[in-house]
């Protein structure tokens, strides 16, 4: 039996998220079907994170266990062929130690949120960014973002459906950057609460539009109450960028 580490990219638009669902398509189910069609083996795929419906991935680490012997090239090409026309791609495949786990071995997760700050509707990027037509004050957003970095109780930014045992998380990075007419928000932590990134981005957007002052971000954080949340950003602007593992060889640069 070989444990295979796979790095996946996908467009989240058609999916109910990573996790297998009874009421719609999922990335996990697409990968498991392809692996079974290729090998005849029933497999369970594990991922570094569980993304919501509509959320994209640039480099999601996953793993599957297969008894059939094959080369990394053959596995990657076979899975990609069998997942068509689903918008999922295996970027790389490599054997991993049997005790390596895509989720439990992960020590860091990185996300990117894309805001298209423009008046015209999106055409080429439709479904891949959140369009905000009003001008955004990026400096005010940067000031507000800095208040969330560190170890805090993030109850305000946590979905009511979150299954995490504790609302306390350490946010290592929340950075706002201007790239032409796009605003990129980078978030990094060991782990995140359900909807945490989208909730933080939604409130940063309120700050950028002048509906909140930067200090209101601290007020919302300290309220520790979901009712204090200003806005939950839509899923289509969110990308899972990278899963980080303890050794350099297990880390994917982007």
Phi, psi of 143 (to 5 degrees): -65, -40
**Bond into 193 cis (ω within 30):** no
Q: How far is CA 174 from the centre of its chain?
A: 14
Query: How crowded is the C-beta side of 31, counted as CA atoms within 13 Å?
Result: 34
In angstroms, the CA 168 to CA 254 distance is 28
Q: Would you list the DSSP string of 25-72?
A: --HHHHHHHHHHHHHS-----EES--PBTT-EEEEEEEEEEESS---H
Identify which of 76, 82, 4, 9 has the alpha carbon closest to the alpha carbon of residue 44.
Answer: 4
Phi, psi of 35 (to 5 degrees): -65, -40
With vertex at residue 39, the alpha carbon angle to CA 5 and CA 42, rounded to the nearest 5 degrees, is 80
Token look-up 């905000």 returns 132
Secondary-structure breakdown of the chain: helix, strand, coil percentages, each rounded to the nearest 5: 25, 30, 45
Of 52, 65, 99, 172, the catalytic one is: 52
The verdict on whether 86 is a catalytic residue reads no
- Active site residues per annotation: 52
């Amino acid at each position: 039996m070989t444990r295979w580490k796979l790095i996946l990219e996908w467009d989240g638009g058609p999916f109910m998220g990573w996790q297998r669902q009874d009421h719609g398509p999922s990335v996990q189910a697409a990968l498991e079907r392809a692996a079974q069609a290729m090998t005849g083996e029933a497999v369970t795929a594990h991922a570094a994170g569980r993304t919501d419906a509509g959320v994209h991935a640039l480099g999601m680490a996953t793993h599957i266990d297969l008894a059939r012997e094959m080369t990394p090239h053959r596995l990657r090409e076979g899975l990609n062929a069998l997942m068509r026309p689903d918008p999922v791609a295996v970027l790389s495949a490599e054997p991993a130690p049997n005790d390596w786990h895509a989720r439990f071995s992960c020590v860091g997760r990185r996300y990117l949120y894309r805001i298209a700050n423009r008046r015209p509707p999106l055409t080429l990027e439709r479904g891949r960014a959140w369009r905000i037509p009003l001008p955004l004050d990026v400096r005010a957003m940067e000031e507000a973002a800095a208040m969330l970095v560190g170890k805090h109780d993030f109850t305000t930014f946590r979905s009511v459906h979150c299954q995490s045992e504790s609302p306390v998380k350490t946010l290592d990075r929340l950075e706002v950057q201007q790239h032409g007419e796009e605003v990129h928000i980078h978030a990094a932590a060991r782990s995140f609460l359900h909807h945490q990134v989208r909730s933080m981005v939604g409130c940063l957007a309120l700050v950028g539009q002048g509906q909140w002052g930067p200090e209101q971000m601290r007020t919302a954080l300290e309220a520790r109450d979901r009712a204090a949340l200003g806005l939950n950003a839509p899923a289509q602007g969110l990308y899972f960028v990278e899963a980080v593992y303890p050794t350099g060889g297990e880390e994917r640069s982007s």
